[in-house]
Amino acid sequence: MSSNLTFTRRSLSVILITQLLLLFTEIGIANSALILLVVIWANLNEKKVISNGVLNSVTVVAVLVSILSLGTAKSLSIFVSLLLIALALKLCQIPSVMRYQKIVVLSFFTTSLTFLFEQSIGIAFIVVSQWITLIACLLSLQNQTIRTLSKRRFKRHAIGLTFCIPMAFILVTLLPKLPSFWTMPTQNSAKTGLNESLDPFNISQLSNSDELVFRAKWSKSQPLEPLYWRAIVHDFFDGNAWRESHLMFFDTAKFKNSEIDYSVIVEPSSNKWLYGLNYSDSKHPQVNTNEFGTLFKTDNSLKNQFEYKVFSTSVKQEVLSDHQFQHYTRLPIANNMEARKLALALKRQSTSVHNFVTLLKTFFIENRFVYTLTPAQSISDNSIDEFLFNNRQGFCGHYASSVAFLLRAGNIPSRIVSGYLGGKLNSEHNYTSVRQFDAHAWVEYFDGMRWQRLDPTGWIAPDRMTGSILDSDTYRQQLIDNLGFNILGLNHYELLLDVQLFLDNIDYQWTRWIVTFDTQRQNEFFSDLLGQQWLYKTASLLLIVVLALGTLFFIWTRWQIRDKRHKAIIVFETIQRETNTRHLSPINTCILLQQRYPEIQQEINDFKQQYSEFRYGQVELSTSSLKKAHALLKYIKQNNKKSL
């Protein structure tokens, strides 16, 4: 038994250390270090008795460390941290089978806590592996293994599981999704690559991240590139940065026409904005549209992965009021004077708004501006002047900021839009993955009738306009240098690209059909499959399936409790019951029957001889003998009815 306890303790220690690795960013370095020290202490002092006083002191220290390191705002992380330290301290107590069984049962709960913070298929695989290890610990504590389990018990559990799996699938898929009765405390660990304030020199940090932002599932084929995923509109320039519009989170009227429809699965983020092409709208109850045609979530930030359906249309015609015109042409009074002079010179040369834009394009091309992911830093108050006339090297943020400034200086309404450009298409499954390094910024200007998109990056780096930046032969190496070693940087190798796409598709299907399968997703799926009356149809189908499974289960249980004795024994005992001779031996029973039924004396005598050979001589009864025994039973039953 001591070897079983050792196996269980070491297995639990490995599971605890795995939990620390998975939850490191949530519970912090101080709590992780403390729990790791306790686990090591428990394994080094496995034969020594540790007093309750020492364990209580460690518990108090753990509580203080959790509160001080995480702060009271992260109540969920404190709760998880204290549960893990409690489990580690349990390992320090005197080992016994009963105590370790309790620890194993508690571990089933603590390993599941990982799903509070992440629900990816990789995490699910790790947690299920931990559960299998815990089951092995329970078997070990009972001195059993899979091989020592009786076939009958194993078969019974396997059949029970066979019934549970389809029932669980039906309950998860068909039953209406009820809203949660409470919400978990909001964590501050969610991340996003965009920012409310767009400084041309801050967006460069996005190229250092390969995190997935969202995936778009196309109802038909992917639209023609370039794909501009609009997220934030910046319409106020303070001299250094472009600020988010104060109208970003005001809901407006919905759009009537739709040119593209698709669904988006967005990753957790600390902000409310969502992503869509052109002017977008959504019928999802938690998604609204503002006057810029960008989407945002109605209830706080994106704490979990979230799927919504999008309808996109081209830019609408509108008229700017005097106040709006002044707002979209406003600039700080005294900075970037050289850029203002350039704008006025181009304004004098131009005959229209479109002509002004053409002259801007000519200026950037003739002066040989360069697109780079590693531009020089600038701390000047005249950063646009410095970029236009000195550095002339930058990426989307530099070009968008400079062109928007020049347009406003030329009295043309303009604003900056930040979001993402392109993405990696999985043509086999028809979805596009967009990552943080695909972040982009461009300009929208008003031509007198409608807002037009203008991307000056395309003037300098036209190959950046299609696909993901990782697909660009020109800029891939710069991105890889910023990312460091990463499997995404090896996508030009065909075999590794196939593996990457395969793993990405598994994660996509898991996210779409498991993680984000909420009420809205359920309604859309079954409405497309069964029509608007899907609820009544699925209710009928659910009833039929439940009745069918119930019937099968009833038949199976009856089959399990059926009389498994030999048919000859069943026939003989039935004869005894019919003739009230259960107190007699088989031979005496047959003698009495011969006296009662002299007309079939020979048949009874043959039955007595064959049954005696079967019971005492282990001679198997033939099929004909069993038929004669049944005929004898039938004759006795008929005579009993006549006597009644």
Say how far apart CA 168 and CA 519 lie, in whole Å: 17
- Dig out the tokens for 379 from the structure: 């701390």
Q: What is the pLDDT of residue 639?
A: 80
Q: What is the mean pLDDT of residues 120-128?
A: 87
User: What pLDDT, in 10s, does the model give residues 508-521?
Assistant: 777 777 777 766 66
Q: What is the mean pLDDT of residues 335-348?
A: 93
Say how far apart CA 517 and CA 575 lie, in whole Å: 61
Q: What is the pLDDT of residue 42?
A: 84
Q: How many CB atoms lie within 10 A of CB 222?
A: 17
Q: What is the pLDDT of residue 183?
A: 46
Q: What is the mean pLDDT of residues 463-473?
A: 74
- Dig out the tokens for 134 from the structure: 């815990």
- Dig out the tokens for 312 from the structure: 């996109």
Supply the mean pLDDT for the chain: 81
Helix (H, G, I), strand (E, B) or coil at 165: helix
Say how far apart CA 192 and CA 203 lie, in whole Å: 12
Sorting pLDDT into bands at 50, 70 and 90, what band is 496?
Answer: low
**Among 179-193, 243-257, 353-367, 603-617, which range has the highest average pLDDT?**
353-367
**Among 197-206, 240-249, 494-503, which range has the highest average pLDDT?**
240-249
Residue 48: pLDDT over 80 = no
Residue 270: pLDDT over 90 = no
Say how far apart CA 91 and CA 42 lie, in whole Å: 6
Sorting pLDDT into bands at 50, 70 and 90, what band is 146?
Answer: low
Q: What is the pLDDT of residue 353?
A: 94
Mapping DSSP onto H, E and C, the string for 418-458 reads EEEECCEEECCCCEEEEEHHHEEEEEEEECCCEEEEECCHH
Q: What is the pLDDT of residue 330?
A: 94
Q: What is the mean pLDDT of residues 504-510?
A: 77
Residue 123: pLDDT over 70 = yes
Residue 567: pLDDT over 50 = yes
Q: What is the pLDDT of residue 228?
A: 94
Q: What is the mean pLDDT of residues 247-253?
A: 82
**Among 23-32, 138-147, 486-495, which range has the highest average pLDDT?**
23-32
**Among 65-69, 126-130, 597-601, 622-626, which range has the highest average pLDDT?**
126-130
Burial category of 623 from C-beta neighbours within 10 Å (exposed 0-12, middle 13-18, buried 19 and up): exposed
CA 415 vs. chain centroid, Å, equals 35
Q: What is the mean pLDDT of residues 555-561?
A: 71
Q: What is the mean pLDDT of residues 366-373?
A: 90
Q: What is the pLDDT of residue 186?
A: 44
Q: What is the mean pLDDT of residues 343-372?
A: 93
* Nearest residue to 261 via CA among 217, 335, 311, 306: 311
- Residue 330 sits at φ, ψ, to 5 deg, of -70, 135
Which residue type does 41 have?
W
Say how far apart CA 451 and CA 328 lie, in whole Å: 12
pLDDT above 70 coverage of the chain, percent: 81
Sorting pLDDT into bands at 50, 70 and 90, what band is 625?
Answer: confident
Examine residue 462 and say whether the peptide bond preceding it is cis (omega within 30 degrees of 0): no
Q: What is the pLDDT of residue 599?
A: 84
Q: What is the pLDDT of residue 179?
A: 52
Q: What is the pLDDT of residue 182?
A: 45
Which residue type does 46 have?
E
Q: What is the pLDDT of residue 357?
A: 95
Say how far apart CA 342 and CA 250 lie, in whole Å: 36
CA 474 vs. chain centroid, Å, equals 34
List of residues 6+ apart from 117 with CB closer than 8 A = 23, 26, 187, 189
Residue 197 Cα distances to 39, 211, 224, 232, angstroms: 45, 21, 30, 10
Say how far apart CA 411 and CA 328 lie, in whole Å: 9
Q: What is the mean pLDDT of residues 153-157?
A: 68
Q: Is 294 left (phi over 0), alpha (psi -120 to 50) or beta?
A: beta
* Nearest residue to 17 via CA among 130, 101, 138, 139: 130
Sorting pLDDT into bands at 50, 70 and 90, what band is 476?
Answer: low
- C-alpha angle 61-64-68 in degrees, rounded to nearest 5: 140
What pTM, to 2 d.p., does this model score? 0.66
Say how far apart CA 596 and CA 86 lie, in whole Å: 78
Beta strands in 219-360 (DSSP E): 228-237, 242-244, 260-266, 276-277, 279-281, 287-289, 295-297, 306-313
Q: What is the pLDDT of residue 455?
A: 94
The DSSP secondary-structure symbol of 223 reads: P
Which residue type does 210 have?
D
Sorting pLDDT into bands at 50, 70 and 90, what band is 189?
Answer: very low
Q: Which of 116-125, 418-427, 516-525 has the lowest mean pLDDT?
A: 516-525
- Dig out the tokens for 290 from the structure: 């503002």
Which helix H or strand E contains 60, and what residues bound it?
helix 52-70
Q: How many CB atoms lie within 10 A of CB 419?
A: 24
Sorting pLDDT into bands at 50, 70 and 90, what band is 495?
Answer: low
Residue 428: pLDDT over 50 = yes
Residue 342 Cα distances to 363, 378, 388, 581, angstroms: 10, 21, 10, 120
**Among 153-157, 441-445, 447-451, which range has the highest average pLDDT?**
441-445
- Dig out the tokens for 479 from the structure: 């991105």
Residues 59, 63, 69, 73, Cα dihedral to 10°: 160
Q: What is the pLDDT of residue 623?
A: 79
Q: Which of 129-143, 303-317, 411-425, 508-522 has the lowest mean pLDDT?
A: 508-522
Q: Which residue has better confidence, 120 or 11? A: 11
Q: What is the pLDDT of residue 202?
A: 54
| Strand 439-446 relative to strand 393-394, pairing | unpaired
- Dig out the tokens for 631 from the structure: 């005929």
Sorting pLDDT into bands at 50, 70 and 90, what band is 167?
Answer: confident
Q: What is the pLDDT of residue 483?
A: 61
